[in-house]
Amino acid sequence: MEEPGTVYFTGTAGAGKSTLVRAFAEWMKNAGYDATVVNLDPGSETADGVADVDIREWVRLSDVQDEYGLGPNGAQVAAADMIALKIFDIKQAVQELKSDYVLVDTPGQIELFAFREASKAIVDALSGDRSVLAFLFDPALARTPGGFVSLLMLSATLEFRFRLPLVNVLAKSDVLTPEQSTEILAWSDEPGRLYEAVTRDVPTPDVQLSTELFRAIEIMGPLGGVLPTSAKEGTGLEAFYQSCQRVFAGGEDLEPSHAPTDE
Ligand SMILES: Nc1nc2c(ncn2[C@@H]2O[C@H](COP(=O)(O)OP(=O)(O)O)[C@@H](O)[C@H]2O)c(=O)[nH]1
Ligand SMILES: [Mg+2]
């Protein structure tokens, strides 16, 4: 059997990861694709009835808090490391379901996923050759040029960290006006437009910083576009599926766009 295609949903807290996983799983089911949903968020309150394989079966945030007398932040960090010890149980549970696709919801706070060694181990263990990171842009941030640049940097950080191909997604696009959406898409398609937007505002130190970051982004290479989706309205899901498919099929996105090849 061919290896499943694995999609990791990443993004800042509240960007819409869990909601998009749910909507995308539903879309896949209706389209006749067979997908396993994995919840890697030990503090999730929304994975019930959605996740086929749920980390909370092994590690639950509230239990970690009680058992070790930790506050919510300490418990998050402890739980993130405990998850890594259960990774082979998770992997086995996923493999037993023999699905064509695996959709992985990641912890609410991105730093727990992006910056803990444990997450790197988890992703390395779960990922086959057909894996992709979906990075969700929260429109609350993405709609300002500075916020958009910051999200691009974060997206690039994930790509560097996990060495997997990455698809940038504009989540909750339904909350944006058509004009805002068009502008954001223009920034992602044409770096020149982004530069213009970043430098248009009054030159405060913030703009100076954004401008410098922009130069770094320009040097890193093509942005690859940001795909608008709305879990609420069910839009952009087919296009997102096709983007993932292109990566799995070994298209132009197979190598991380900003990183040199391994050899
Ligand atoms: N309008 C709108 N709201 C959304 C959408 N997706 C998620 N949300 C809301 O955004 C908030 C955070 O979503 P959640 O999926 O929990 O974010 P996560 O922390 O990234 O997993 C919730 O209140 C959701 O109802 C969407 O497509 N449209
Ligand atoms: Mg979530």
140 lines ligand 1 (CB under 6 A): no
How far away, in angstroms, is 119 Cα from ligand 2 center? 16
Closest approach atom of ligand 1 to CA 231: 27
Task: Identify whether 219 is part of a domain.
Answer: no
How far away, in angstroms, is 25 Cα from ligand 2 center? 15
Give, to the nearest 10 degrees, the angle between helix 72-85 and helix 117-126.
Answer: 40
Which residue in 41, 48, 49, 42 sits closest to 17, CA to CA? 41
Which residue in 73, 92, 80 sits closest to 121, CA to CA? 80
CA–CA dist 113, 25 (Å, integer): 21
In this structure, what CATH number is given to the domain that contains residue 132? 3.40.50.300
Which tens digit of pLDDT belongs to each residue from 153-172?
899 899 989 999 999 999 99
Q: How many other C-beta atoms are found inside a 10 Å radius of the C-beta of residue 255?
A: 14
Task: Identify whether 140 is part of a domain.
Answer: yes
Q: Which residues surround ligand 2, an ion (CB under 5 A)?
A: 17-18, 108
pTM attached to this predicted model: 0.91
Range of the domain at 177: 5-189+224-248
How far away, in angstroms, is 196 Cα from ligand 1 center? 30
Task: Identify whether 202 is part of a domain.
Answer: no
Kindly give the confidence (pLDDT) of every residue in the chain, 263 residues in length, as a single tens digit, with 9 standing for 90 and above. 678 999 999 999 999 999 999 999 999 999 999 999 999 999 999 888 899 999 999 999 999 999 999 998 899 999 999 999 999 999 999 999 999 999 999 998 898 899 988 889 999 999 988 999 999 999 999 999 889 988 988 998 999 899 999 999 999 999 999 999 999 999 888 878 888 888 776 566 666 776 777 777 777 665 678 999 999 999 999 999 999 999 999 854 444 444 444 44
Task: Identify whether 257 is part of a domain.
Answer: no
Closest approach atom of ligand 1 to CA 171: 27
Task: Identify whether 53 is part of a domain.
Answer: yes
45 lines ligand 1 (CB under 6 A): no
Q: Which ligand is nearest to the CA of 172?
A: 1
Please tell me what DSSP assigns to residue 96. H
Q: Please, what's the b/e burial string for 228-248 (b: 16 or more CB within 10 A of its CB; e: otherwise)?
A: bbbbeeeebbeebbebbebbb
Task: Identify whether 204 is part of a domain.
Answer: no
SS3 of 201, please? coil
Task: Identify whether 262 is part of a domain.
Answer: no
How far away, in angstroms, is 24 Cα from ligand 1 center? 13
How far away, in angstroms, is 138 Cα from ligand 1 center? 9
Task: Identify whether 203 is part of a domain.
Answer: no
How far away, in angstroms, is 189 Cα from ligand 2 center? 28
> What is the tally of structural domains in the chain?
1
DSSP assignment of 9-59, as one string?
A: EEESTTSSHHHHHHHHHHHHHHTT--EEEEE--TT-SS-TTT-SEEGGGT-
State both tokens at 27.
């879309």
127 lines ligand 1 (CB under 6 A): no
Which tens digit of pLDDT belongs to each residue from 183-195?
999 988 887 888 8
CA–CA dist 123, 67 (Å, integer): 27
**Residue of 37, 151, 170, 172 to test ligand 1 pocket, by largest number of atoms within 8 Å of CB:** 172
Q: Which ligand is nearest to the CA of 40?
A: 2
How far away, in angstroms, is 22 Cα from ligand 2 center? 10
230 lines ligand 1 (CB under 6 A): yes
